[in-house]
Amino acid sequence: MNGVCALVTGASRGVGRGIAQGLYRAGATVYASGRSIETADLDDAIVRVACDHSDDQSVDRLFERIVTEQGRLDVLVNNAWGGYENMVEDGRFTWSAPFWDQPLWRWAAMMDVGVRAAFVASQHAARLMVPCRRGLIVNVSQWAAQKYHGNVIYGVSKAATDKLTADMAVELRDHDVAVVSLYPGLVRTEAVLAAGVFDLGNSESPEFIGRAVAALAGDQDVCRWTGQVLVAAALAEHYGFADIDGRSPRPLTLTDV
């Protein structure tokens, strides 16, 4: 990926941090954004840009910097998301509450910080990619888009992300810019490891998702995937890469979830 410029949003921790690391180790010039990006555990060569993706002016400044310093953007990974915080409120676990008991802030967090943030960043990216007739936009999504998983708001927001992918693909197809939704499996993020309750036998490192994005970005025929939902572990089988520990996680299916 030498010569490739990539931006990963929401890269302060978890999957986003792993994607930024994976793309950097594949040779890309990587910009990583997030509210707490300055304290993120990232390679020093990754360009950290503090950005609140719910603030349009902050996003404007992020892309202005990329244009000034690089003059191009080849890969955008929309990973910034909201709504995972404050799962326990006033001593009550609200994450799995029925929709009539869900706090309304969670809708705003997932739809605005999540779906809207991906839309706004993609607008900026498309303005750079379309004139060059190349580019890849990856929207990190989840099986909740297709099957009830956690709560109603989570499912609606992930389904919206996949619909965003499908419809953007229609408008970008004639410009040779690809856009896909990417589903990780069970990822060994800081939160998952801290919970200590998950069976990690078929889990993935955060960097594994970065390898999946790198494989897509290096595919000269990546537009054949555009508009589709892709599973990271299935891409590993297709492109022939493994996780950082040498393992090959089994691709999950809708039945597994």
Tally the C-alpha atoms within 13 A of residue 148's C-alpha that lie toward its C-beta.
6
256 three-class SS: coil
Closest CA to 161 of 9, 2, 7, 49: 9
Angle at 140 between CA 181 and CA 186, to 5 degrees: 110
Active site residues: 154
Q: Kindly state the tokens that stand for 111.
A: 């739809």
Find the angle CA(230)-CA(232)-CA(234) to the nearest 5 degrees: 80
35 C-beta neighbours (distance < 10 Å), count: 16
- CB count within 10 Å of CB 226 equals 20
Cα-based angle 179, 235, 127 (whole degrees, multiple of 5): 15
